[in-house]
Amino acid sequence: MNISVKLYGLLRPHHPGPNRSLPIPLVIAEGATVAQAVLALNLPPELARVAAVNGEQTDLNTTLHEGDQVMLMSILVGG
């Protein structure tokens, strides 16, 4: 199935293309989860901690569907 993944925060440097603000198209198996999309993109799992699918916050165990738009963010810590 086809989905798109947009990276934010500390994940942006891991974007494979020249324009890091564009979503990454990804073909992934039916029934895959957000966590599996993270692995398919070779993203550091310790950075991909917050996810949204189609604009709604979710967790990494959420099952994806054809055409889903995934946003992945890292948790920022300040002091």
Q: pLDDT by residue (tens digit) across 51-69?
A: 999 999 999 999 999 999 9
Residue 31 within a domain: yes
Q: Is 18 part of any domain?
A: yes
Is residue 40's pLDDT more than 90? Answer: yes
Whether residue 7 is contained in a domain is answered as yes
Answer whether residue 56 is part of any domain.
Answer: yes
Q: How many folded domains does the chain comprise?
A: 1
61 occurs within a structural domain:
yes
Domain harbouring 60, CATH code: 3.10.20.30
Say if 79 falls within a structural domain. Answer: no
Tell me the whole-structure pTM to 2 decimals: 0.91
What pLDDT does 25 receive? 97
- Asked, for residue 46, whether it belongs to a domain, the answer is yes
For residue 19, tell me if it sits in a domain. Answer: yes
Q: Long-range contacts of range 44-50, CB-CB < 8 Å, 24 or more positions apart?
A: 44/11, 44/14, 47/9, 47/10, 47/11, 47/14, 47/74, 48/11, 48/72, 48/73, 48/74, 49/73, 49/74, 49/75, 50/74, 50/75
Q: Which domain holds residue 53?
A: 2-73
